[in-house]
Structure 1
Amino acid sequence: MNVAQVNDVIQRWVKGGLKSDDYQQFKNIGSACLAQGESAQLLQFLQDERNQGLVKSMGCGLLAPLASEVIRKEKSLNHCQAAIAHLTKTCNPKELLHGFLQLIEDIDPGAIADTIIALAPHLQTVLLRMEEEKAAPLGMALSALQKQMSRLPVPYTQQQEAADEFGLCRCCTALAAFMEPFVEEVKRKDGNGDNTAADKELKTELLKFCMRCLREPLLQAQLDRGRKSPLWVFATEILVTLPAIQEPLPDLLFYKPLKKSILIDNHQSTESRACLAYLIFVQLITIERFPAIFSPVFVLQCNMEYINILLSRKNESCLLKGLALFSKSLENVQDNSLPVALLELRTFYSAPQVNQRETGLQVFQLFINKLDAEAKHKFFRCMLKTSNHSGVEGYIVKNIKNQVEFSTKPGNRNEWFLGVEFPPLLGLALCLPQGAETDLLHSMDRIMESLNLLRYVLLRDKELRSSVSHSNSTLFSHILDVWAELCRIKDKYLKTLRVCISMSRSYYSSELKALWEDQKQKARASSTRLVKSITVKHEKVSNMSPEVQHQVLQSALVTFDLMESLIVRIEEITEEKEGTQD
């Protein structure tokens, strides 16, 4: 279509009587102008006062081609931006909203950030034109924008965040600016005493957006209050917005679960609030606005739900957030006032990174240190009965040894770890899960710590007895009774453990010999003998190469020797003690 034909069509449109085909033709003519580099002429046409009737009727059709030019950042960028800005002020707001939402829904995966950043200011203009009817449209817009933003990878390192290759940080900045005038409107109306149904709906939509952003992307984000990164600033904007829309932080965290109309999935709601708790109590964002009337114990009790859900997540960011929140929640709790807390303790030993395990154990030890002697005794018994994890149980046994050592110091003696209450606990520590058929390698952490505990108890008991005068017959008799019970437990445990070691050594030796013979004969790979059902540190030995299998089996035999040497030393201590008694 040449220039003359275009002018004729335009004149017909000006006179009125638009047909259904005219809308598509208008879009085609505008697209052709952009394709031919005539964006300046198109902008001039759109801004011409004589054409405003046409623009108002058919201008929405140009949103898509104009947005494409902007996202591609062509030379006509400024003209296209100005054209979109003119359309947002001229066309029907509802039609514009529909057009923008369609553009956002159809975003190319490789242009998510560029599209959001380009369209958000114009979409904001459209929504602000809607006056009292803007709550539902705002909700749709925020939901669409946040959904697309959540598809972007979250930066893991400071370098990745600075590079912002996928544009998540820029998107967060753009959405914070997008939300600002609506938050200010809510604050202004609250200040004037307005609280209409429309105002409440507007607050609800803003709340939904904030809670969803807490889950994605902030739950995954690496945040450091010493570095005010774009994600940190976005988190701050979210937390400042919540009280601004009359959602007190304590209510969100402790008292008022979000209604299904806010977040349909209750699990998502809990994850959002878990992130909120982390940002407040660990990163201290807006902590000055959090009421100080809540006791540390109450805060810990309320945070336990969030701590557990963070620890149950497998990714490192959530795991470290859970550990940090637990640690901060414990800091201000006074000793002896700690509530019962159930944790995913396997997390500490199953974490894929060494620093995660170390951090987990530090927090776990902080928790144990907050308990008094009686609470420690009960907690240790509970964990030995229920954890079903050798690493956790070994750590508990190590703590039992530390408590015995502490109790032998002057002024620290207590019945829980040095009296009649101690043998039942020791009996749980000196117990093989499956008796003589226990997998020693799988239970190695617990067994080694148990043997060290037993050796230490025998040595300390010898010192304690030698320091007690026979004239103190009551205390001396008390010690003899405890000693007799310890001996019974010791004898039963060592007898079973010796049988278990003997059976295990025989089995592992035969496997090692068979493996050696297979390698020696250079059998075909398909018939190479593989160890069948041995598990070491959660990894099947049968999945290893023959060379590694050989090392593992040899190491197992060395471990059995070490266990047996500890047993011999314990029996020597016992004989020395019994000789002293005679």
Structure 2
Amino acid sequence: MAANQLEDVVQRWRTTEDFKPEDHKLFLNAGHTCIAQGDCTQLLDFIKEEANQHIVRSMGSGLLPRLVNEVQRKDQSSANCQAILNHLVQICSVKELLNILLLQVEDSDPNGIADSIVVLMPLIQSVLLRMGEAKAHGLALALDSLQKQISKLPVPYSHKQEQEDVYGLCRSCTAVLTFVQPFVQEVKNQDTNSVATELRAALLKFCMESLREPLLHVQLDREANMTEISPLWNFATEIMAILAVIQESLPKILFYHPLRGKEDTISEKDAYHLNESRACMAYLLFVQLIATEVPQDYKNVFFSHLTICLPDSKTVWTVKDLHVKSLERVTDCSLPVELLDLKPFHEVPKNLITIMIDCPIQHLRGKSLVVFQLFIEKLNGEAKHTFFRRIMKTSHHAGVESIIIKNIKNQVERYRKSAYEDSWFEGTLLISLLRDTIILPQGHETDLLHGMDRVMESLNLLRYLLIQERNNSTGIWIDLCHIANSYTKLLRLCLSMSKSYYGTELRRLREDKKIKAKEFKEASGKLSIQSLTVKTEMLGNMPCEAQDKVLQCALVTYDLMESLVVRIEEIIEDSQN
């Protein structure tokens, strides 16, 4: 029946090229019926028949959505449907074809994005290659639609997941590489004409966005990927190779090249995305050693202006240890002396501190701490003094502040052992730093448990300095004693209040436990209803036994602080006798 219907329609059309809307509807109905009934062989014969080419050319593009769906189903008729698609994209209007195919890309089922991309990319490529001078604009549209879909696919985080490729990211990336190759080759062969220039712009944007999505999130390992076939490693390698073809040099992109126009004309969002792309490029260049032909001079400049390329956001965790590994290499590079000044590096600690505080991956937090210390060692005395003062005023994190205070102690020891003159960690310069350092940030309202790391390091530093200075004639003893007395006096007040509060809570908890033993037993496993905040955790969300341990630990911590306070007071008192 479908064949007869199609033949009736054809007989009326073979002598005309003036097709009306109702003709298009009839043609599509007939074609869809053929597909639905499995008559794709006969439909293919009709599509290829020379006498019908003007009909197909005018109305055939409307069959694309249904044909694409059939190919994705991979049933017995899919081969004929694929053959029909291949013929249609060679003869129908390129504008209509491109619009329909891009709409198919954008309307892909969330569970079938990869299958849709694999089917559609060769078709879109064929259409674009027919578009002549207009192909660059079409390529930009196609890549934009494509990358929006790819960004929705989950990234595999292990070699096994990559091999299984359940969600199809690897297949999609491979299909994209095949898709862009003719246009990359055209840029390479016709470097100076206007079409090549426009293609280069479209490909550059594609590569930079690919560095951000998905490569920014991919777990790459050069050693592992050298021994096993990895589609995502291959994708990263090919993206860098394409960049090398379409640009004069990779360092130029890394340091100077915006996506469009002048750097200050880029929107804040685009600039942020560009920085993420540059960060990933830096990771591939300097950590994974892709494109190792980048000169050492460029690597040195990169490290000295690291934050031009590195994003200050939580996406950094998904670049693995991009900041950390790149910064580790700072210590290995032979940087010019003038590049070791504090100013070019002033944002580097900010990135590292963000990792140290917020990164959910424990080993990265540990690595960032190591690199943070390496960074400190790169600074001279003046830079260290300025840097320590700045971090103590801006970090607002007890753990970070404790690291700085420990470094102050280390610097004092180092300078005294080496007998440097004009030290930034001696005399009045040291005292001025201590006045900004040995304090309780919130006065008598300071949360001592939350700020335990800073408090303990402050007390240790004071004890060390007092022991060192009691028999010296450096002229800072009086000022040092004044700082110590002010600090310990306020700390004793805080300790008294905190110990009283936590002691009361512990006694109440234990009394409640006795009184409500039956209730706790019946409600075994349920949470206590106490409401006490310790280090941002609600004790009320802990079992009763856990609350008891936390409160005991707090009291032990306060006893330890108090013992250091007593020792400091003894040192001062003994020196006065």
Please, what TM-score do these two structures have when normalized by structure 1?
0.87
> Does 387-396 or 373-382 show the bigger shift?
373-382
The answer for the alignment partner of 2:253 in structure 1 is 252
The answer for the alignment partner of 1:561 in structure 2 is 559
1:207 aligns with 2:204: yes
**Secondary structure in structure 2 of the residue aligned to 1:409:** helix
Give the Cα separation in 2 of the matches to 1:508 and 1:420.
39
**Match for residue 495 of structure 1 among 489, 507, 519:** 489
Give the Cα separation in 1 of the matches to 2:415 and 2:5.
100
One-letter code aligned to 2:51: R
Report the CA distance between 1:70 and its aligned residue: 1.1
Give the Cα separation in 2 of the matches to 1:266 and 1:547.
51
Report the CA distance between 1:183 and its aligned residue: 1.1
The answer for the alignment partner of 2:549 in structure 1 is 551
Please show how residues 73-92 of structure 1 align to structure 2 within 5 Å.
Answer: 73-92=74-93
Report the CA distance between 1:551 and its aligned residue: 2.0
1:378 aligns with 2:386: yes
CA deviation string 1:405-428 (max 9, x = no partner): 323435567622344422222333
Give the Cα separation in 1 of the matches to 2:378 and 2:98.
56
Q: Provide closer, same or farther for how the CA distance between residues 61 and 562 of structure 1 changes in structure 2, counting only shifts above 3 A.
A: same
One-letter code aligned to 2:436: L
Please show how residues 24-39 of structure 1 align to structure 2 within 5 Å.
Answer: 24-39=25-40
Give the Cα separation in 2 of the matches to 1:445 and 1:253.
39
Give the Cα separation in 2 of the matches to 1:510 and 1:314.
44
CA contact (8 A) 1:46 1:83 kept: yes
Q: Provide closer, same or farther for how the CA distance between residues 99 and 149 of structure 1 changes in structure 2, counting only shifts above 3 A.
A: same
CA contact (8 A) 1:31 1:62 kept: yes
**Match for residue 398 of structure 1 among 383, 406, 412:** 406
Please show how residues 157-196 of structure 1 align to structure 2 within 5 Å.
Answer: 157-190=158-191, 194-196=192-194
CA contact (8 A) 1:24 1:61 kept: no
1:225 aligns with 2:222: yes
Report the CA distance between 1:315 and its aligned residue: 6.5
Q: Provide closer, same or farther for how the CA distance between residues 527 and 176 of structure 1 changes in structure 2, counting only shifts above 3 A.
A: closer
**Secondary structure in structure 1 of the residue aligned to 2:76:** coil
Report the CA distance between 1:368 and its aligned residue: 0.7
1:15 aligns with 2:23: no
**Secondary structure in structure 2 of the residue aligned to 1:417:** coil
1:65 aligns with 2:66: yes
Give the Cα separation in 1 of the matches to 2:173 and 2:2.
45
Report the CA distance between 1:371 and its aligned residue: 0.9
Give the Cα separation in 2 of the matches to 1:316 and 1:299.
20
Please show how residues 531-542 of structure 1 align to structure 2 within 5 Å.
Answer: 531-532=531-532, 534-536=533-535, 538-542=536-540
CA contact (8 A) 1:299 1:329 kept: no
CA deviation string 1:553-578 (max 9, x = no partner): 22111111111122233344455666
1:273 aligns with 2:272: no
Q: Provide closer, same or farther for how the CA distance between residues 55 and 528 of structure 1 changes in structure 2, counting only shifts above 3 A.
A: closer
Identity in percent: 48
Give the Cα separation in 2 of the matches to 1:531 and 1:97.
62
1:105 aligns with 2:106: yes
CA contact (8 A) 2:388 2:404 kept: yes
Report the CA distance between 1:189 and its aligned residue: 0.8
Give the Cα separation in 2 of the matches to 1:66 and 1:127.
19
The answer for the alignment partner of 1:366 in structure 2 is 374
The answer for the alignment partner of 2:511 in structure 1 is 517
Q: Provide closer, same or farther for how the CA distance between residues 293 and 387 of structure 1 changes in structure 2, counting only shifts above 3 A.
A: same
> Does 318-327 or 94-103 show the bigger shift?
318-327
> Does 347-356 or 247-256 show the bigger shift?
247-256
Please show how residues 232-311 of structure 1 align to structure 2 within 5 Å.
Answer: 232-246=233-247, 248-259=249-260, 265-288=270-293, 290-294=294-298, 296=300, 298-307=301-310, 309=311, 311=312
1:347 aligns with 2:347: no
CA deviation string 1:529-555 (max 9, x = no partner): 6344x331x323344344332222221
The answer for the alignment partner of 1:49 in structure 2 is 50
Across the aligned residues of Structure 1 and Structure 2, the Cα RMSD in angstroms comes to 2.8
Give the Cα separation in 2 of the matches to 1:444 and 1:252.
46
Report the CA distance between 1:346 and its aligned residue: 4.2
Q: Any gaps of 5 or more consecutive residues in structure 1? A: 466-475
Q: Provide closer, same or farther for how the CA distance between residues 247 and 380 of structure 1 changes in structure 2, counting only shifts above 3 A.
A: same
CA contact (8 A) 2:2 2:34 kept: no
Q: Provide closer, same or farther for how the CA distance between residues 438 and 8 of structure 1 changes in structure 2, counting only shifts above 3 A.
A: closer
One-letter code aligned to 1:69: E
Q: Provide closer, same or farther for how the CA distance between residues 79 and 276 of structure 1 changes in structure 2, counting only shifts above 3 A.
A: same
CA deviation string 1:15-48 (max 9, x = no partner): 3254422323222323333333333332232223
> Does 213-222 or 334-343 show the bigger shift?
334-343
Q: Which runs of 4+ in 1 moved over 6 A?
A: 260-264, 523-529
Report the CA distance between 1:393 and its aligned residue: 0.3
Q: Provide closer, same or farther for how the CA distance between residues 315 and 242 of structure 1 changes in structure 2, counting only shifts above 3 A.
A: closer
Please, what TM-score do these two structures have when normalized by structure 2?
0.88
The answer for the alignment partner of 2:523 in structure 1 is none
One-letter code aligned to 1:269: L
Give the Cα separation in 1 of the matches to 2:266 and 2:487.
57
Give the Cα separation in 2 of the matches to 1:84 and 1:329.
54
Q: Any gaps of 5 or more consecutive residues in structure 2? A: 521-525
CA contact (8 A) 1:398 1:453 kept: yes
> Does 328-337 or 232-241 show the bigger shift?
328-337
The answer for the alignment partner of 1:469 in structure 2 is none
